[in-house]
Amino acid sequence: MAWLFLKVLLVGVSFLGCLYPLVDFCFSRDTKGQRPNFVIILADDVGWGDLGANWAETKDTDNLDKMAAEGMRFVDFHAAASTCSPSRASLLTGRLGLRNGVTHNFAVTSVGGLPLNETTLAEVLQQAGYVTGMIGKWHLGHHGSYHPNFRGFDYYFGIPYSHDMGCTDTPGYNHPPCPACPRGDRPSRNLERDCYSDVALPLYENLNIVEQPVNLSSLAQKYAEKATQFIQHASTSGRPFLLYVGLAHMHVPLARTQLSAETWGRRPYAAGLREMDSLVGQIKDKVDRTAKNNTFLWFTGDNGPWAQKCELAGSVGPFTGLWQTHQGGSPAKQTTWEGGHRVPALAYWPGRVPSNVTSTALLRCCFTPTAGPPERMEPFRLSAWGTTRPSTSPVEPKPAMGASDPSGTMSPPLSLTWKTMQRKPCL
Ligand SMILES: [Ca+2]
């Protein structure tokens, strides 16, 4: 029987290990054999309060607010980690860092990456016949087999790590301000802390560096063009597709874009927020024009704002941590205080995801789509339930906390020890 069973299971856990089976979009009606497309847009260092739909003080996200009105807004969504690489590893594997091995950010000098025995969402869908593309920041290893093209993505266009981890000729706004790339054979300068200016930031298209250093002022437009091209090509191919977009926004340095110039006098962060909103709007418009009825569009953030960047950091809304300042409370990313990992999250799929509704479900990393009728789910499982390839991990893979195994049995909660980090002052 030709039918589609789509189940997007978002499994949540509290920090104390309590279980929250959250949202379970389950569709069994006849869709003439069509499998859904997935578009995941992951913002960088975006704050919960940066979304106007979340926080009325924000007026810079018209497109995202419209998407929230047309879809489902999760007001209590938590990233799997409060920093880049672990959060992204969890998104793609459905497993927390304690299980997938990524507990810290990868550096420019890192020779490793997301362990090769981990199965990614892209690999699962690629094996299921999807066209898979990744555009933007990867940050899960950039040497050899750790490159996105070897982790399940047919197409890759983007930067290998954060855009403050390499010099550019368009440094943008940052604290401290970082210089442009050195010229000729001039020796390295005595750089400010947190400025990586010796290695120019590369821009990759698949395995090739197509620009170095990256022009940050035009990066957002390049991402928009590549994302819309990918959606167009994938749609005309007749195959379902996965597009994962890792935005540079709202991580510092904030680009000195045309938009910034036009909005002279506005805070650079607000201008950057509007540029990100425009980029998301362009991708959503393309989805609406080409595959509106068969595409699940998901927007969220990897972790909360980088509070140490002061006016160049986003808004955590009310989750400031100030009420426990005497105990080290902080809104910053890289901490386990709430603003560090509570992020915006929107789901959009007209006709499938209810419109203009909110959910207070507590969520975390496991964006776990499975496609195909139940008897065919086995090949499409993500690593939360066991990989499609043998694991070489010394720790036998087990279901993630609160995840259900294929029989629907919930795994027992695990107790984790979370440590708090001390509040750090603005730079
Ligand atoms: Ca981040």
pLDDT tens digits for range 118-127: 999 999 999 9
pLDDT at position 320 is 83
pLDDT band for position 326 (cuts 50, 70, 90)? confident
> pLDDT band for position 21 (50/70/90)?
very low
Q: Cβ-count burial of 291 within 10 angstroms (0-12 exposed, 13-18 middle, 19+ buried)?
A: buried
Helix 62-70 to helix 268-291 angle (10° resolution) is 40
Is the pLDDT at 425 greater than 70? The verdict is no
Mean pLDDT of the chain: 79
Has 143 been annotated as catalytic?
Answer: no
pLDDT of residue 349: 96
Assign 185 a pLDDT band (cuts: 50, 70, 90): low
Stretch 92-106: mean pLDDT: 93
Pick the residue with more confidence: 289 or 3?
Answer: 289
**pLDDT score of 263:** 53
State yes or no: pLDDT of 202 exceeds 90: yes
For a pLDDT cut of 90, what percent of the chain falls above it?
60
Residue 265: pLDDT over 80: no
Greater confidence (148 vs 424) lies with: 148
Ligand 1 midpoint to CA 105 (Å): 10
| 275 has a pLDDT exceeding 90 | yes
- Cα(117) to centroid(ligand 1), Å: 24
On the 0-12 / 13-18 / 19+ scale of CB atoms within 10 A, 284 is buried
* pLDDT given at position 174: 92
pLDDT at residue 24 greater than cutoff 80: no
- The CA 303 to ligand 1 mean position distance, Å, reads 5
- CA 302/CA 245 separation, integer angstroms: 12
Give the pLDDT of residue 193: 64
Active site residue 139: yes
pLDDT tens digits, 349-384 = 999 999 999 988 766 554 544 433 333 333 233 332
Ligand 1 centroid – CA 44 distance (Å):
4
**Is the Cα dihedral 195, 196, 201, 207 positive or negative?**
negative
| Dist. CA 333–CA 78, nearest whole Å | 12
CA-to-CA dists, residue 188 to 181, 296, 312, angstroms: 9, 47, 27
Which of the given ranges, 61-70, 334-343, 354-363, has the highest pLDDT on average? 61-70
What does each C-alpha distance from 336 to 34, 81, 378 come to in angstroms?
A: 41, 8, 35
| Residue 233 vs residue 393, higher pLDDT | 233
CA of 216 to the centre of ligand 1 (A): 17
Q: Residue-wise over 10-21: b if at least 16 C-beta within 10 A, else e?
A: bbbbeeeeebbe
**pTM of the entire predicted model:** 0.82
The single residue of 18, 78, 84, 341 carrying the catalytic annotation is 84
- Cβ neighbours around 183 below 10 Å, total: 7
How far apart are the CA of 280 and the centre of ligand 1, in A? 17
* Poorest-pLDDT segment among 39-43, 136-140, 286-290, 400-404: 400-404
- Which listed residue (26, 78, 139, 341) is catalytic? 139
**How many whole angstroms from 326 Cα to the centroid of ligand 1?**
26
Ion ligand 1 neighbours (CB, 5 A) are 44-45, 84, 302-303
Task: Give the pLDDT confidence score for residue 191 in this predicted structure.
Answer: 63
pLDDT at 186 over 80: no
